[in-house]
Amino acid sequence: MKRKVCFRKMGAAVAVAFVIISCTSKIEEVQNISVDTSENFGNAIDGNVKIKAVVQLHDSLLVGDVSKVLYSGGKIYIWDKSAASILCCTTDGDLQFRISAKGRGPGEYTGISNFYLSGSGNTVNVIAQEKKLLEFSAVSGELVSESGIDVKSIMCTDGIELQDGKTVLGIIGPEHNVAVDGADTLKYHIPFNMTRDFAFMERAFSQDGPKALFVHGMDNCIYSVAYDTSTVRYIVDFKGMEISNDDYQTKTPAEIQKIYDERSVATRIDNLVNSRNWLSFSYWMMNPDKTQQTNYVLYNKRNGKAMNIQGSPLFPIKDANDNLLVSVADNSDSRYAPYNGNPVVVLWEM
């Protein structure tokens, strides 16, 4: 993919200034996810967890800030953001290889914006901060290819490869939030609104059959994205704790800010993970005193029920493989207390 893209350092601005246009894509077969933010199913979840494996990373490894974990082909891929590296480990906790190519030369990066696995699972694809995509072997960690990414964008923050081999990128404007790379041309989806989509710059993808699910900014919609189309797949209803789409479109920034000053608001969906039976994501509860609390939702696709979760050591869920869920456990829980300072990766089912 011989392209170029503009990058800036990723961040999550908490200043709120809004004139929002929400859920602008065509809506088909939309499902409503109703979330009661006052409930807490954390203990109920923990009591029904079936642990399949607890992976303690080897004590010879030094792992810092775990930003992302993917599980594929019996291997665990960990993005250590503090070290700008990606580790590939076995389920025994042993290191298979480490991608650590920080630098300014060919095959190197000054920083990692995100990473994803190819649809075949053969390569680890690193979105570098300096306008390029680096593909490394998922077997050896050796560099396979390097190319620029040419999209109209202020920044590129995440990506995923569809089953047909097309690459979907989460971008920050200036006109859209998603770019899909086809054989000849790029397709852009989900119009970008500066005041909505730049306040929280994180984007998140998860596989959904031949398509990808996508969330961004303060939009309470979960989109389904393919090369030619983007549709709203789910709308998250926080039962009045969110700011309505009508308010975002009709009220002034000062009026929206007043809502944040007067009551708690549920917003900023992130950490999206999709499995056969479950859909999981996080959100922020932003309080009038300017503090934020991160809560989690586990949505049961079979019965259409959503569970609001606070304080569970297995959340956020990092990845899913069929119905096997992957988490980096909270070390405060004695079941997952490490014998060294490294994270504990838990593979589990519900």
117-141 pLDDT tens trace:
998 889 999 998 887 899 999 999 9
- The predicted model gives 269-280 an average pLDDT of 95
In tens, the pLDDT along 60-85 reads 777 878 889 999 999 999 999 888 99
- Categorize the per-residue pLDDT at 343 as very low, low, confident or very high, splitting at 50, 70 and 90: confident
Bridge partner residues of 31 (DSSP): 234
* Residue 264, C-beta contacts closer than 8 angstroms, at least 6 positions apart: 241, 285, 286, 287, 288
Give whole-number Cα distances, 251 to 61, 236, 248, in Å.
52, 21, 6
- pLDDT for res 338: 60
- Low-confidence winner among 12-26, 154-168, 213-227 (lowest mean pLDDT): 12-26
- Categorize the per-residue pLDDT at 349 as very low, low, confident or very high, splitting at 50, 70 and 90: very high
- pLDDT for res 182: 74
Q: What are the tokens at 139? A: 């077997």
Asked if residue 66 lies in contact with residue 343, where contact means CB atoms within 8 angstroms, the answer is: yes
Direct distance between the N- and C-terminal alpha carbons of the chain, in angstroms, rounded to an integer: 39
Tokens 């990808």, residue? 212
- pLDDT for res 70: 95
Asked if residue 272 lies in contact with residue 222, where contact means CB atoms within 8 angstroms, the answer is: yes
- Assigned fold of 26-349: Neuraminidase (2.120.10)
Question: Where on the phi/psi map is residue 159: left (φ > 0), alpha (ψ -120 to 50), or beta?
Answer: beta
Asked if residue 86 lies in contact with residue 93, where contact means CB atoms within 8 angstroms, the answer is: no
In tens, the pLDDT along 295-317 reads 999 999 999 999 999 988 899 99
Q: Which among 71, 34, 31 has a CA at the least distance from the CA of 349?
A: 71
Distance CA 66, CA 328 (A): 8
- Categorize the per-residue pLDDT at 2 as very low, low, confident or very high, splitting at 50, 70 and 90: very low
Full DSSP string of 3-67: ----------------------SEEEEEEEEE--TT---HHHHHHT-EEEEEEEPPTT-----EE
- The predicted model gives 32-42 an average pLDDT of 94
222 pLDDT higher than 60:
yes
- pLDDT for res 12: 33
Question: Exposed, middle or buried: residue 58 (CB in 10 Å: 0-12, 13-18, 19+)?
Answer: middle
- Low-confidence winner among 9-18, 100-109, 186-195, 219-228 (lowest mean pLDDT): 9-18
Q: How much is the pTM?
A: 0.86
Write the DSSP symbol of residue 271.
E
Pairing of strands 221-225, 75-80: unpaired
- Categorize the per-residue pLDDT at 183 as very low, low, confident or very high, splitting at 50, 70 and 90: low
Bridge partner residues of 266 (DSSP): 285
Task: Look at 194 and 73; give whichever has higher pLDDT.
Answer: 73
Full DSSP string of 59-110: TT-----EEEEEEETTEEEEEEGGGTEEEEEETTS-EEEEE--BSSSTT-BS
In the chain, where are the structural domains located? 26-349
Distance CA 85, CA 148 (A): 20
- Categorize the per-residue pLDDT at 255 as very low, low, confident or very high, splitting at 50, 70 and 90: confident
331 pLDDT higher than 70:
no
